Structure 1
Amino acid sequence: MPHSGEKKKVVIFGGGTGLATLVRGLKKYPVEITAVVTVADDGGSSGRLLDEYDIPPPGDVRNVMAALSDVEPLIEKMFQYRFASSKDLKGHSLGNLMLAAMTNITGDFARAVEQMSHILNIQGKVLPAANQRITLHAELEDGTIVTGESKIPVYGRRIRKVYLSPTEVKPLPETIQALRNADLVIFGPGSLYTSILPTILVQAIRDAVMECSAKKVYICNLTTQAGETFEYSASEHVKALYDHAGGAFIDTVLLNTTDFTTLYEEGEYKGPPSPVEHDMAELEKLVPNVVKREIATLIDGQIRHESKEVASWLIQYMESTAGKKKM
């Protein structure tokens, strides 16, 4: 644990809007945040840059950097700006292009992220899960192999497992060091198979997670996801994590208790997406501690985690488990 006056160290794994939402809440507290972000995205602007510049896809990294930035709102808005009219630039975000340019200048994607972090005055550290191009594959229950993160949800069949190529991927040394020093390690929220799992499919990261003495929390998704976790219960989310990690490692799962109908005017929520079923009997066999809180909100018509509520609970959890690292 840190000495008196030192910030607690939090490591968060994921990608997409889920991770960005979480760090927006956590950065308001005196904690040292390290976000380990998936680089398996191959769609949209990220996919085009992947092909044109031979760099890891910057989209998820960009979103987390924006969420952790401490700059004028106009600067963040510019970083996230997506071109809509130009033939060559249409679909690209300015932040993705800036990261691609910085990678060319520095010759290294992780170095580019580090330099852009200084420019954006990021409150924490953003680390790509890999500093190279990787491809995510999925084996579906019928044996079909799907290649490419953006293609996996399209098939609409249950996923047996996901894996990376190349198989030998080295993480950044900073990621392993962050796990060794962590006071809390968080997984999610986010797409289970295409955002969270790709970060721990890197062997050295997986080993460090399993060996890490810090408490580990899984923030369960609010809803199931078509093409990835359709009809998945909470325990099935956890089982997928364990199957890909090679063993149990979660200490606590945070579940939502908010009734989605209360988030809409006149209770107009009809679904889908469907709320994740809380199969408590099965879940409690897998995880020592299960916590339920009202942590859902409505943002632009979409059900999302309430970042302030989740962050507040995480801080309380850290305080209540202080000094209880595994030996």
Structure 2
Amino acid sequence: MSGPVVTALGGGHGLSATLTALRFVTDEITAVVTVADDGGSSGRLRDEFGVLPPGDLRMALAALCSDTEWGHTWRDVLQHRFAGDGPLGGHALGNLLIVALWELHEDPVAGLDLVGRLLQANGRVLPAAAAPLVIEADVSGLDAGDPTARRVVRGQAQVARTPGTVEAVRLDPADPPAYPESVAAIRAADWVVLGPGSWFTSVTTHLLVPEVREALEVTRARRLLVLNLEPASGETEGFDAARHVQSLAEMAPRLRLDAVLADPAAVEDEGALAEQAARLGAELHLSPVSRRGAPGQHDPLRYAAALRDILYSPRPAR
């Protein structure tokens, strides 16, 4: 099939949905995954072994598995999660496998590539940063006596489920090193896809890694932002689609976009969203990408069709 060279940035279920859809569009896929997760199995392994959190990396690899009995079998093995309250309870087997490979190989990317070979993956998975990241957020609305007062909420898991309003986010360390392979993949792509996913803890986290943000700003690739199917949920409670794009511009003023994709059912004010997209140089594309009867879930084929229409469009003359 071949197709455009695409680098997809994100984490968790949002990135997994994008990778699943991209497999219908192109063979040239690289996933660059955030490494800020500190909850569940990933958080436990991160704390115990001092490694990158493997969970989002595992999910991206599983999404790229070959469409064969072999690929599906090993995908299911990787995704298998142990039950019970014992030491293995809650751990995904793929997380343990990835950490074991990291103990055998000094370079984490080499371990991820080996898992990719096991899955016969249609693409490559890379971490965004070379060290585990800690997200800190200034959150308002947590003090009933003073709704405008801000508190610092620390950790991806805590920020993702905060009941307050996220006012600002940052990383600790503030200037983490990026993986050279990830920066190179962003610079060499035809298209870079950002999102969907948890806005502050998966999507825009990439903009807080200086070398990744710079690569996004200077790449020759065209840039596509995919908005969430449920904009006003979790850490972005009260945000509409236009506010998401506005916050992206505030975090990375030099970043330009070429396209913004949104499901029309998730857009309250098309005019406001188109205006915010235009401020970043982007054209707004409205296309149904959710499952019929399940508006919060992506339909792989509908999502792939929307991506195909954008990624195969001719580059406009300058």
Q: Percent identity?
A: 33
Q: Which residue of structure 2 lines up, in the alignment, with residue 271 of structure 1?
A: none
Q: Which residue of structure 2 lines up, in the alignment, with residue 293 of structure 1?
A: 287
CA–CA separation in structure 2 for the residues paired with 1:294 and 1:282: 16
Q: Which residue of structure 2 lines up, in the alignment, with residue 13 of structure 1?
A: 9
**Contact 2:5–2:26 (8 Å) recurs in 1:** no
Q: How many residues align?
A: 304
- Tell me the CA shift for residue 298 of structure 1: 5.6
CA–CA separation in structure 1 for the residues paired with 2:209 and 2:37: 15
- Tell me the CA shift for residue 143 of structure 1: 2.3
CA–CA separation in structure 2 for the residues paired with 1:304 and 1:38: 21
CA–CA separation in structure 1 for the residues paired with 2:191 and 2:115: 26
CA–CA separation in structure 1 for the residues paired with 2:130 and 2:108: 6
CA–CA separation in structure 2 for the residues paired with 1:125 and 1:249: 25
- Tell me the CA shift for residue 183 of structure 1: 0.9
CA–CA separation in structure 1 for the residues paired with 2:275 and 2:295: 29
Q: Which residue of structure 2 lines up, in the alignment, with residue 284 of structure 1?
A: 275
- Tell me the CA shift for residue 109 of structure 1: 2.3
Q: Which residue of structure 2 lines up, in the alignment, with residue 250 of structure 1?
A: 257
Q: 280-289 or 238-247, which moves further after superposition?
A: 280-289
Does 2:303 correspond to 1:304? no
3-state DSSP of counterpart to 2:6: strand
CA–CA separation in structure 1 for the residues paired with 2:289 and 2:3: 25
1:124-163 deviations in Å (ceiling 9; x for gaps): 1111111212211111243211110000133311111211
Q: Which residue of structure 1 lines up, in the alignment, with residue 144 of structure 2?
A: none
Q: Which residue of structure 2 lines up, in the alignment, with residue 266 of structure 1?
A: none
The ranges of structure 1 where at least 4 consecutive aligned residues each deviate by more than 4 angstroms after the TM superposition are: none
CA–CA separation in structure 2 for the residues paired with 1:279 and 1:233: 11
Instruction: Kindly provide the amino acid, as one letter, of the partner of residue 49 in structure 2.
Output: Y
CA–CA separation in structure 2 for the residues paired with 1:88 and 1:225: 36
Instruction: Kindly provide the amino acid, as one letter, of the partner of residue 24 in structure 2.
Output: K
Does 2:117 correspond to 1:118? yes
3-state DSSP of counterpart to 2:36: coil
- Tell me the CA shift for residue 318 of structure 1: 2.2
CA–CA separation in structure 1 for the residues paired with 2:90 and 2:276: 45
Q: 226-235 or 61-70, which moves further after superposition?
A: 226-235
Pick aligned residue for 2:25 from 1, 25, 29:
29
User: Which TM-score applies when normalising by structure 1?
Assistant: 0.87
Pick aligned residue for 1:163 from 151, 164, 170:
170
Q: Which residue of structure 2 lines up, in the alignment, with residue 319 of structure 1?
A: 312
Q: Which residue of structure 1 lines up, in the alignment, with residue 88 of structure 2?
A: 89
CA–CA separation in structure 1 for the residues paired with 2:80 and 2:268: 37
Q: Please list every run of 5 or more consecutive structure 2 residues that lacks an aligned counterpart in the other structure.
A: 141-148
**Contact 1:10–1:182 (8 Å) recurs in 2:** yes
CA–CA separation in structure 1 for the residues paired with 2:29 and 2:14: 15
Q: Which residue of structure 2 lines up, in the alignment, with residue 144 of structure 1?
A: 151
CA–CA separation in structure 1 for the residues paired with 2:190 and 2:274: 24
CA–CA separation in structure 1 for the residues paired with 2:200 and 2:267: 15
**Contact 1:170–1:204 (8 Å) recurs in 2:** yes
Cα 1:278–1:254 shift into 2, 3 Å: farther
Q: Which residue of structure 2 lines up, in the alignment, with residue 67 of structure 1?
A: 63
**Contact 2:229–2:295 (8 Å) recurs in 1:** no
- Tell me the CA shift for residue 107 of structure 1: 2.6
Cα 1:131–1:114 shift into 2, 3 Å: farther
CA–CA separation in structure 1 for the residues paired with 2:35 and 2:292: 27
Q: Please list every run of 5 or more consecutive structure 1 residues that lacks an aligned counterpart in the other structure.
A: 259-274
Cα 1:248–1:181 shift into 2, 3 Å: closer
Does 2:52 correspond to 1:56? yes
Tell me how large the CA RMSD over aligned residues is.
2.0
User: Which TM-score applies when normalising by structure 2?
Assistant: 0.89
**Contact 2:160–2:198 (8 Å) recurs in 1:** no
Cα 1:241–1:29 shift into 2, 3 Å: same
3-state DSSP of counterpart to 2:135: strand
CA–CA separation in structure 1 for the residues paired with 2:190 and 2:317: 8
CA–CA separation in structure 2 for the residues paired with 1:191 and 1:286: 19
Q: Which residue of structure 1 lines up, in the alignment, with residue 106 of structure 2?
A: 107
Aligned residue runs from structure 1 range 130-141, under 5 A: 130-141=129-140
- Tell me the CA shift for residue 195 of structure 1: 0.6
**Contact 2:129–2:179 (8 Å) recurs in 1:** yes
Instruction: Kindly provide the amino acid, as one letter, of the partner of residue 83 in structure 1.
Output: F
CA–CA separation in structure 1 for the residues paired with 2:235 and 2:267: 13
CA–CA separation in structure 2 for the residues paired with 1:325 and 1:7: 21
CA–CA separation in structure 1 for the residues paired with 2:34 and 2:122: 19
